[in-house]
Amino acid sequence: MSLLLNVPAAEETEAKSKGALWDANLQTWYLPDINYDHIMEVDKWITDRDTAIILSDEVIIAHARHTCPHCQQSTPVIAIGSDFFYEKDMNERDELVWFELDFFTLFQQTSVISAHLFNFFRDNYPHYKQGPARSADGYYWCNHCEHCGKDIDDTLLFADPGDVFNPDNAAAAASITLRTFPFKYAPHIDADYNINDNVRLINEFAGRT
């Protein structure tokens, strides 16, 4: 999972010494997966500085259906997922570091996404876009009804056991489909996630394509 970097010309030699490589086709610097042990050394060049999660370069999109709270019609809904990812957080010495987290989860309350993930949603899932946040400041990415166009808050999909992306039994989890999309460079986001038995049900029983 290679990671895009934004390296100023004056710092290219330094970036190269820390494991960054040059993509001649895209005319950009990147950190290859074999050099991820240098991720903190290249942290200042990571694009989209407001993101705290680096996804796998195989992004999972969870698909389900939900009754729109506005028009009461059934509409498709999605969620971003990943089988493993990196998260920037404080360590035991109160230092900001990137932790590698090796488990499946779905993300919610997504406030920031990287540019290539933005383009992916625009082209493939136009009903997943920014909307007013009910439980966060400003705006965040959420589903919109394909019939009436109104936003569907993530709390309706995730908050309670039995919600569409918080299934409480195997049959409910099996109604979710997980599709994997390869990316040349790992997308990054700022979002929340849960680790619970309901997420494990999705990982075990949801169909994968």
| Dist. CA 109–CA 140, nearest whole Å | 6
Kindly state the average pLDDT of the residues 178-184: 96
Question: What are 125-137's pLDDT values in tens digits?
Answer: 999 999 876 655 6
Q: Which pLDDT score is estimated for 137?
A: 63
Nearest partner of 106 among 206, 4, 1, judged by Cα = 206
Question: What are 5-47's pLDDT values in tens digits?
Answer: 999 999 999 999 999 999 999 899 999 989 988 899 999 998 8
Task: Say yes or no to pLDDT of 72 above 80.
Answer: yes
Question: What are 43-68's pLDDT values in tens digits?
Answer: 999 887 778 999 999 999 999 999 99
Contact (CB, 8 A) for 150 and 144:
yes
Q: Name residues whose C-beta falls within 8 Å of residue 158's C-beta, 6 or more positions apart in sequence.
A: 79, 106, 108, 165, 166, 194
Q: For the CA atoms of the chain, what is the radius of gyration? A: 18
Question: What are 121-169's pLDDT values in tens digits?
Answer: 999 999 999 987 665 567 899 999 999 999 999 999 999 999 999 999 9
| Dist. CA 106–CA 158, nearest whole Å | 9
